[in-house]
């Protein structure tokens, strides 16, 4: 899907490219990729690299184009991984700017609420647009990290009384999300460093914006690492708790088995087909039952006394 906007704010959609326009390309088909390659004379490898889910963040400068790839966080419909990261590529050409991604996301202005998109309305510098995407990406990382923390708190409440692995598997998913976040944020920081050293990017406005993007990126990285450390310790602690809960259940079952074994033993002895001095007594059955009950109560008393 290809949409062309008159400005970086994504307010006015136009049918054909014009100078200083923004083209947003989402999960393009092969025919659309070929059209972009032929129209703008860019290497097809650039687009294919961006559409690779495992592509790392990087910055490349060429005579006719500039490529910036950053890793952005996205929500997933897959229950096995609620959050993951994808590459978002920005190709700066002479007359327009292309953004390419595998799916819609909250980083691009088209997916944002109108007040959040106003800041993009007057932008004419494509590198200013790129730095704002880095800044927005850091904000979304922080938003999803807060959601991960809330989900972890709910899992923690269930883990306190659990003897199953289901909750631990949920924690493992959250830890996997954090690993993806940490790896992607570190790669984004390297890309920001390269932009910082570029003469094309730096001016007074972009310098302030770049510093803001660095701050958001580092904050997201630090929080991700803190949450990952907490998750790792929590996994070990709650694995022990689940083991202890299971041991407590097995202990109760063992005590019940021992108590039930006492009357079973007594009744089995007097139920054998051999002389036992009670076979002709009419009080044999009540006496045996009373003895079984008495010894069972003694067993319960001794078990409780020894806790």
Structural domains of the chain sorted by starting position, each given as residue range(s) with its CATH number in brackets: 2-245 (3.30.460.20), 246-305 (1.20.58)
Confidence band for 201, pLDDT divided at 50, 70 and 90: low
Find the helix packing angle between 204-270 and 284-305, rounded to 10°: 150
For residue 187, pLDDT beyond 60 = yes
Enumerate helices (H) and strands (E) in the chain, giving the number of each: 7, 6
Q: How far apart are CA 241 and CA 248, in angstroms?
A: 10
Q: What is the pLDDT of residue 71?
A: 92
pLDDT in tens, 234-286: 777 777 777 777 787 888 888 888 888 888 887 777 777 667 677 667 777 78
For residue 121, pLDDT beyond 60 = no
* Residue among 149, 170, 139 nearest 238 (CA): 170
For residue 166, pLDDT beyond 80 = no
Tell me, yes or no, if the pTM score tops 0.85: no
| pLDDT mean across residues, the chain | 81
pLDDT in tens, 31-89: 888 888 888 888 888 888 888 888 888 888 888 888 899 999 988 877 678 888 999 99
Q: What is the pLDDT of residue 302?
A: 79
Higher per-residue pLDDT: 236 or 228: 228
* Residue among 108, 109, 89, 85 nearest 99 (CA): 89
Q: What is the pLDDT of residue 10?
A: 64
* Percentage of the chain modeled with pLDDT above 70: 87
């Amino acid at each position: 899907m290809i949409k062309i906007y008159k400005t970086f704010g994504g307010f006015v959609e136009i049918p054909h490219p014009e100078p200083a326009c923004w083209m947003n390309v989402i999960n393009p088909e092969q025919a659309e990729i070929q059209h972009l390659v032929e129209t703008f004379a860019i290497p097809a490898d650039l687009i294919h690299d961006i559409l690779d889910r495992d592509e790392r963040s990087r910055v490349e400068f060429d005579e006719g184009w500039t490529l910036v790839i950053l890793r952005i966080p996205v929500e997933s419909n897959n229950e096995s991984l609620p959050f993951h990261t994808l590459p978002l590529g920005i190709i700066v050409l002479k007359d327009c700017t292309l953004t390419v991604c595998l799916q819609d996301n909250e980083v691009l202005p088209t997916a944002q609420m109108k007040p959040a998109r106003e800041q993009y309305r007057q932008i004419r510098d494509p590198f200013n647009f790129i730095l704002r995407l880095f800044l927005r990406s850091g904000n979304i990382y922080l938003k999803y990290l807060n959601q991960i923390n809330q989900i972890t708190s709910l899992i923690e409440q269930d883990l306190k009384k659990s003897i199953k692995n289901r909750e631990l598997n949920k924690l493992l998913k959250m830890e996997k999300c954090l690993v993806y976040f940490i790896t992607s944020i570190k790669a984004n920081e390297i890309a920001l460093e390269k932009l910082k050293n570029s003469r094309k990017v730096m001016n007074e406005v972009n310098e302030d914006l770049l510093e803001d993007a660095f701050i958001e990126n580092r904050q997201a990285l630090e929080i991700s690492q803190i949450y990952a450390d907490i998750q790792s310790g929590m996994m070990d602690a709650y694995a022990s708790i689940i083991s202890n809960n299971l041991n407590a259940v097995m202990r109760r079952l063992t005590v019940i088995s021992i108590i039930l074994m006492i009357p079973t033993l007594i009744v089995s002895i007097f139920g054998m087909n051999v002389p036992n001095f009670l076979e002709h007594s009419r009080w044999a059955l009540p006496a045996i039952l009373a003895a079984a009950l008495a010894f069972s109560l003694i067993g319960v008393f001794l078990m409780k006394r020894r806790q």
